[in-house]
Amino acid sequence: MNQRLLVISPVRNEADHFERVARSMAAQTRPPDTWVVSDDGSTDGTLELIERLAEEIPFMLARRTRAPEQTPSGMDRLAQGAAPRNFNAGLRSADWRSFTHIGKHDGDLELPPHYCEQLLQEFESDPALGIAGGLRVELERGRWRLERIPLDHHVYGAFKCYSRECFEAIGGVQERLGWDTIDETYARMHGFRTRSFGHLVCIHHRPWGSADGTLRGRARYGEAAYVLHYSLPWVTLRSLKMATARPRVVSGAVFLYGYLRAKVRRREQVEDDEFRAFIRRETRARLRAAVAPRRARSA
């Protein structure tokens, strides 16, 4: 199969590390056929940087794309769907249906040289694979820390790759908070597999959830859990796990606060009864799977 890879990078104020990110993309053993870097009103010289690099990297295209629905000053722009809006704006500048795979790549993620090649190999070996990606490491107190996620179903929003068939089936990326769980859920509802691969590890130059402040990022994550119809018992358990992240304890409390605030404010949720039922079934199944080994050990 002749694979063609399109990568869209929605960026904003990434000047501190984007050149390293771009060099890592240029060094891919199997680079994208087209890489669109879509700048959403950067004020730190990012646009000028990507325009200069686009002259050196033949498959890279620089685009200035001001998202049409701007977030009022002082509000959390990421909670208003700024990243997926910018992604979709970049997508519209390419004939994406002429590609076999579409990737979203954040402007703060440095890839190992074999990343794209091995990811495409995973798609080739598994025709049912709809969304895939790798893991990431972040610098924490002078040491690189590998973030851990459930590999069998979750893919980071920072770099995820879709087969075109899956992308079309789920209707693309929704421009709202929680988009990177909504897409995975709909993919599984349509019979596609979603998973991450532990042998693909990227360097994340900006800590998770910190683009608009770390604690704001934790609250945003809790708000997303409400939007996605996760139950309060599940969110409470999740907040206990989140409490182990820095800043410790506070992270869990702010995550739970974000969920409860969204509930009180009646934040708009995914309006799809089948989606709600599906995500609740998956959550219950995962909780049972997590509890079963503990019961076996205590028996």
Inform me whether the pLDDT recorded for 67 exceeds 60: no
pLDDT in tens, 35-44: 999 999 999 9
Sign of CA dihedral 52, 175, 223, 275: negative
The pLDDT of residue 247 = 85
Domains of the chain with bracketed CATH: 5-204 (3.90.550.10), 214-298 (no CATH)
What is the DSSP code string of 235-249? HHHHHHHHTTSSSTT
- How big is the chain by its Cα radius of gyration, in Å? 19
Question: Is 78 within 8 Å of 106 (Cβ atoms)?
Answer: no
- Percentage of the chain beyond pLDDT 70 is 90
Inform me whether the pLDDT recorded for 292 exceeds 70: no
The pLDDT of residue 140 = 82
DSSP 8-state symbol, 96: G
Inform me whether the pLDDT recorded for 203 exceeds 80: yes
The pLDDT of residue 286 = 85
| Beta-bridge partners for 193 | 129
pLDDT in tens, 215-250: 888 999 999 999 999 999 899 999 998 898 888 899
The pLDDT of residue 78 = 56
- Tokens found for residue 54: 């686009």
12 by DSSP, 3-state: which?
A: coil
Question: Is 163 within 8 Å of 123 (Cβ atoms)?
Answer: yes
pLDDT in tens, 13-35: 999 999 999 999 999 999 999 99
For residues 159 and 195, give the distance between their C-alpha atoms in angstroms, rounded to a whole number: 12
**CA distances from residue 121 to 2, 30, 57, 112, 133 in whole angstroms, order as listed:** 12, 11, 24, 15, 12
Inform me whether the pLDDT recorded for 74 exceeds 70: no
Question: Is 11 within 8 Å of 89 (Cβ atoms)?
Answer: no
Q: What angle, rounded to 10 degrees, do the helices at 18-26 and 46-54 form?
A: 20
For residues 56 and 188, give the distance between their C-alpha atoms in angstroms, rounded to a whole number: 39
pLDDT in tens, 257-272: 999 999 999 999 999 9
pLDDT in tens, 106-155: 999 999 999 999 999 999 999 999 999 999 999 888 889 998 888 999 99
Inform me whether the pLDDT recorded for 252 exceeds 60: yes
Q: Which helix (H) or strand (E) holds 62?
A: strand 60-64
For residues 274 and 281, give the distance between their C-alpha atoms in angstroms, rounded to a whole number: 11
**CA distances from residue 286 to 6, 85, 152, 280 in whole angstroms, order as listed:** 33, 31, 11, 10
Determine the average pLDDT of the residues in 94-110.
Answer: 96
Determine the average pLDDT of the residues in 183-199.
Answer: 97
- Average per-residue pLDDT in the chain? 90
pLDDT in tens, 204-215: 997 654 445 688
The pLDDT of residue 210 = 47
